[in-house]
Amino acid sequence: MNSKDGFAVLSIRKGCERHHVSYDIILGMENEFVKECGADLVCIDPGICAANIAGREAGDGGKVDEKAVNELDDASFVFYATMSDNDLKIHLNTLKAVHDKLIIYLIDCWVPLWDEHEKILKEIDPLCVCFAYRKSAQHFDGLLDSKVIELPQSVDLEVFHPHDVDRSRLFIQIGRKNKMLHEGALEYLKKRGLSSRDRNYAYQRVGSDYWKNAMLRPFHTASNFLKYRSAAMLAFPSMEEVSLEISRSMFSLCAPQCVDNFAKTGDISEVTPRYYEIMACKSIPVGIKPLDTFDDLFPYEDAMIEVDADNFDDVISSLAADPDRYERIVETNYDHVLEHHRWKHRYEYMMNILRTDE
């Protein structure tokens, strides 16, 4: 191990393909940990990834990657990031083999999954669990023998950054569409005789039926699995293209997932990477503010422009007519992300806690 902190990232990157939004988040984080923080990178063998995914129904925790475990022998900390408990189950036995120095970063730990996550986290018994969502960190603190850290998400600044393009589009909404924001944008354009097509409003037109059909198709490798999910969930061919299109747009419409899918998330209203990505590309987030942590992460006025069905038109037209205010918001948000919300800041925060506990 070459890391001064004895810190190694255990990654499944060789067993999956860009791009699916969830794995792009994790890959961007891992890249910054390695390049900016000096972490070592150890990859789970792609063949073992594929075999463990194909055999996940057996529920036996998958094959141990002995080579990876041996490479991690000298590490003091082994960091493994996952969106949910699925990847914990798929590589359970490999994770258990390094559990005494394992740091799990669990991102989508929604309320309805707390009991399931508790079971598998207790089975793995890692040194530390970092939760992306505050309410999950608060719930599990004291419930596990592991150290618990609240670690907000961040942004891959190699991908998401300002582009040298005209900010010629009014609206963009990436991924799932919030009905209130979508209808507000359409009505705003209609009222002014503007087309709702891409030059004024870019949004995903891939329907949920494709997603359902994709999930019914058989898959036997991590690569195929991610290809299906990518085709179903993303309207852009790459995350770089997403970044470019956000930079072209004045207003990026966004809302916490709980607003549209409370049954999945429960009472968690969090800042996801999309908010950071919008700010890093010098667009302005417009919509519904995440309630749990936004004001703590962005403790200043106008970080996000809140709208509802009644005031959407007035708020947007007022801001569009005030270029000085617009540019002030854009630059303040951009500077704040660079100074406080890079992945290296999350690494430093986490390591300060872990060093103190040693």
Q: Which of 100, 129, 101 is nearest to 114 (CA)?
A: 129
- DSSP letter for 178, please: P
Structural contact between residues 92 and 123, judged by C-beta atoms closer than 8 angstroms: yes
- CA–CA dist 162, 155 (Å, integer): 13
Question: Please, are residues 251 and 225 in contact by the beta-carbon 8 Å criterion?
Answer: no
| Whole-structure pTM value | 0.90
Between CA 71 and CA 42 the distance in angstroms is 7
Taking the C-alpha atoms of residue 298 and residue 333, their distance in angstroms, rounded to an integer, is: 8
What is the full per-residue pLDDT of the chain (358 aa) written as tens digits?
788 889 999 998 876 654 456 778 899 999 999 999 999 999 999 889 888 887 776 678 889 999 999 999 999 999 999 998 888 999 999 999 999 999 999 999 999 999 999 999 999 999 999 999 999 999 999 999 999 999 999 999 999 999 999 999 999 998 788 999 999 999 999 999 998 777 899 987 554 443 343 333 333 344 444 444 444 444 566 788 889 999 999 999 999 999 999 999 999 999 999 999 999 999 999 999 999 999 999 999 999 999 999 999 999 999 999 999 999 999 999 999 999 999 999 999 999 999 887 6
What is the pLDDT at residue 236?
67
* Beta-bridge mates of residue 7: 77
Q: Where are the domains of the chain?
A: 7-153+343-357, 169-340
CATH numeric code, 7-153+343-357? 3.40.50
Are 12 and 87 in contact by the 8 Å Cβ rule? The answer is yes
Residue 56's pLDDT is: 73
- Fold classified for 169-340: Rossmann fold (3.40.50)
Give the CA diameter of the chain. 65
E-strand ranges in the chain read 7-11, 40-43, 77-82, 102-106, 128-131, 147-150, 169-173, 201-203, 249-254, 284-287, 305-306
SS3 268: coil
Distance CA 71, CA 75 (A): 8
Same fold, 7-153+343-357 and 169-340: yes
d(CA 165, CA 248): 6
